[in-house]
Structures are given as C-alpha cells and as structure tokens.
Chain A
Amino acid sequence: MDIVPISLDIDPELARYYTGKATALTHLIDTDHITTEALGFTNVPMALWVDEHGIIVRGPESASVERSSLKDMEIDESWPERLKSQLSVAKSIPSNPDAYRAAVLDWARNGSASKFVLSEAEIVGRLSPRHRDEAEAVAAFELGQYLYHQAGGGAPGVSAARSWWQRAHDLDPDNWTYKRQAWVLVTTAEGQPPDLMQGPNDVFSGNWLDDVIANGGGEAYSTPSGI
C-alpha cells in the first residue's frame, strides 16, 4: 500500500520542513485546496482509501493515525485563560488513532475482504449534498487563493485575498481548511513555525477557539469515522 500525504498548504515551504522526516513517501501539495472540491477534504487530517483499480473504498473521513501530544498535556492553572481553554477544547476532540490505524492495516492485508471497505452506496450516502452556499464558498476561496498568489503572497497576498476568504468562511463555516489556512497566515509571527493557536486577529472575523466552541465544542469538531 502507498501512503500519499497531500499537504493543504498555500506555501509549500511551510510544509517542506515536515516532509523531510518521511522521505520515502510521495509527498503532494495542494496549494489551492482543490481536494476540497474534488475529494471532499474539509479539515486535516482526513483520508481517502483507494484500491488498485482506482475505486474509492472509504472516505473522505477524519483520519487520525497518531495520538496527539495535546491529549496528554497537563494544563497548568497558571497559564493564560485562553490557552487553557484552547487546550481543554483540543483535548475533547474525539479521535481513536489506534483503531483507525488498525483498520488501515486490515485493509492493507485483506483488501476488498476487509470489513472496513465500504460500498459505493455507503460512501456516497455518507456525504451530504452541497448546499448552494458551500458550492459558492469553493469559488470564493479559489478566487482568494488566486489573488493571494498574484499579489506575491505574504501580507500583500492576504490583503488581496481577504474579502473572498472571509466570504468563504461565512458561506461554509464547517470547512476548517478554509479558515485555518487563512488564520495561520495572519497569526504566525514572521520567521516562526505555523501558529497552531490561530487566535483572534484584526483581519478575519473568526478564530480557532471561538469557532470550535460556536460549532459545538471539541466533541463536534471532528466527525468520528465509525471505526
């Protein structure tokens, strides 16, 4: 089985640091988030299982294969309230990486006989038809991506893309790749690693913690895969 990581980073250089740790894999980059439209990826990590014949046998679905270090982090009472809240919400995001990894391995060994393989009707049936707003959000985000690149990225790029990205966020608030991609560009200090807090900012109306809470909290953030 081939594992094909697809990075949804607008700037490949931001992802390159991590790809260097797994050089045996074919790493792909989706700077324009076209896998949102084509494959239904709306957050990370998400996965799609494809068999030898190009048939999708599972997904798109939430796909944690490794326990987040945040799950075991002890929250110090002396820390800032926002940090404590964010960690608490992050800890409550459901995931069962051991079970998901075991399911992937079962499919690798047993192929179509794996109990985790889904039929076409099950795969398509698990996906909701796109509402008009969601479809429009795809176009709005893509326009923003185009303008970001045209402006040369960075702060000028964000300025050029801002109104279209904000529109995408408003139209499809359940799409986390649109929001997290935009937030991180304005909350990361220059020369620093990507800011995973993605807190309140002056450019976009949302931020990670408040949007997760508005959407039902960590328990609702990630769709359980049913594995």
Chain B
Amino acid sequence: MLTTGVLSSDQLAYMGWELKPEGLCRADRCVPLPADIDRSALPAAVVADRLGMPILTDPNSGVSAIGPEAGQPPLASNVLPPLTLADFEGNPFDLTQMHGRKSLLMAWASW
C-alpha cells in the first residue's frame, strides 16, 4: 500500500487494522502504540514497525510502500478479504458484489 508518510483510517482499514484506545487492533489482537504518538496523524513508519510490515521509500518521489505482515500467510482465514478492483471501463468493482452466487476468480494475463 502506497503512502506519503501518514496513514488514514481508511488505509488502516485496508490493511485490516483499526485504531482503538488500546492501540492498533485486528480481531482479538491489539498492538500498543508509543504513548506520545499523534493519533490523528499516524506515521506510516511507526505503524509498519509495530505491525512487522516492511516499508520502503523511493528517495526521489518520497513515496513509500508498505508490504504485508511478515510471518503470516497471504490468507489469514477463509473469508474473502475486502478488495476492490476495476473493470475495463475503469469502474470500481467490489468483489463482495459477487456474494449470493458462487464465483471462480481466475488470474490471467496477456503475457
């Protein structure tokens, strides 16, 4: 996930985490944050460090990317994670739209 240094609550949600009084939480797991941190502008580097996620920064653009949590499998459960892609006209497509019918998600490429 790309960031310019500060994470929004939407970005945290995309990562599967939520900011609570006890820290960053996901399901029954909470990770405490430094006491003096500005909770209204969470630094991406601090969050990544606390959650065991790699963060890389491109020195020219100043843009950073946070990778997934190391030590965890790509799927933590059998629940389809929230994911929005796009169709070929550029319209966002939330995969939860498929609920109600079986879906076979097939990855392919022209290459």
Chain B positions 71 through 111: 1 when the CB is less than 8 Å from some CB of chain A, otherwise 0: 11111111111010111100001011011111111111111
Per the bound structure, the CA–CA distance linking A38 and B99 in Å amounts to: 18
The reply to whether A50 and B87 form a contact with Cβ atoms under 8 Å apart is: no
Mostly, the A contact residues are mixed
Q: Does B19 contact A (CB under 8 A)?
A: no
> In the assembled complex, how far is the CB of residue A58 from the closest CB belonging to chain B, in whole angstroms?
9
A44 to B109, CA, bound (A): 7
In the bound complex, what is the Cα–Cα distance between A63 and B107 (angstroms)? 9
Total inter-chain residue pairs, C-beta < 8 Å:
223
The answer to whether A146 and B87 touch across the interface, beta carbons within 8 angstroms, is no
When each residue 8-37 of chain B gets 1 if its CB lies under 8 Å from chain A and 0 otherwise, what string results?
000000000000000000000000000000
Asked whether any CB of chain A lies closer than 8 Å to the CB of B46, the reply is: no
Contact across chains for A6 and B87 when beta carbons are under 8 A apart: no
Cα A24 to Cα B1 with chains together (Å): 32
Closest to A198 in B: B111
**A7 pairs with B109, CB closer than 8 A:** yes
Instruction: State whether A9 touches B81 (Cβ < 8 A).
Output: no
Q: How many residues of A contact B (CB 8 A)?
A: 84
Task: For the complex, give the distance between the alpha carbons of A9 and B2 in Å.
Answer: 19
Q: Name A111's closest neighbour in chain B (CB-CB).
A: B102
Q: B103, A9: Cβ atoms under 8 Å? A: no
Compute how far the CA of A131 lies from the CA of B1 in the bound complex, rounded to whole angstroms.
18
Given contacts A47-B107, A63-B106, A127-B74, contact A55 B58 (CB under 8 A): no
Is A139 part of the binding interface, using a Cβ–Cβ cutoff of 8 Å?
Answer: yes
**B42: CB under 8 A from chain A?**
no
For chain B, the count of residues having a C-beta within 8 Å of the partner chain is 49
The contact of A2 among B58, B68, B72, B103, by CB within 8 Å, is B103
| A221 at the binding interface (Cβ < 8 Å) | no
List which A1-47 residues lie within 8 A (CB) of chain B: 1-9, 12, 14-19, 26-30, 34-35, 37-41, 43-47
B71 engages A56 (CB within 8 Å): no
For B56, give its contact among A29, A51, A107, A139 (CB under 8 Å): A139
In Å, the complex CA distance between A211 and B74 comes to: 24
Q: Pick the contact of A49 from B69, B101, B102 — CB < 8 Å?
A: B102
- Tell me, yes or no, whether A115 is within 8 Å of chain B by CB: no
Q: Interface segment, A67-75, A81-89, A176-184, A212-220?
A: A176-184
Complex Cα distance, B3 from A111, in Å, reads 41
**B100 cross-chain contacts in A, Cβ below 8 A:** 52
Residues of A bordering B, CB below 8 Å: 1-9, 12, 14-19, 26-30, 34-35, 37-41, 43-57, 59-60, 63, 65, 104, 107-108, 111, 119-120, 123-124, 127-132, 134-140, 142-143, 146-147, 150, 164, 177, 180-181, 183-184, 193-196, 198
Residues of B within 8 A of A (CB): 1-2, 53-56, 58, 61, 63-81, 83, 85-88, 93, 95-96, 98-111
| 28 chain-A/chain-B pairs, Cβ below 8 angstroms | A1-B104, A2-B98, A2-B101, A4-B95, A6-B106, A6-B108, A8-B107, A9-B110, A9-B111, A16-B88, A19-B88, A37-B68, A39-B105, A47-B104, A50-B104, A54-B96, A54-B98, A57-B78, A124-B76, A124-B78, A128-B73, A129-B73, A130-B69, A132-B54, A136-B67, A138-B67, A142-B1, A181-B111
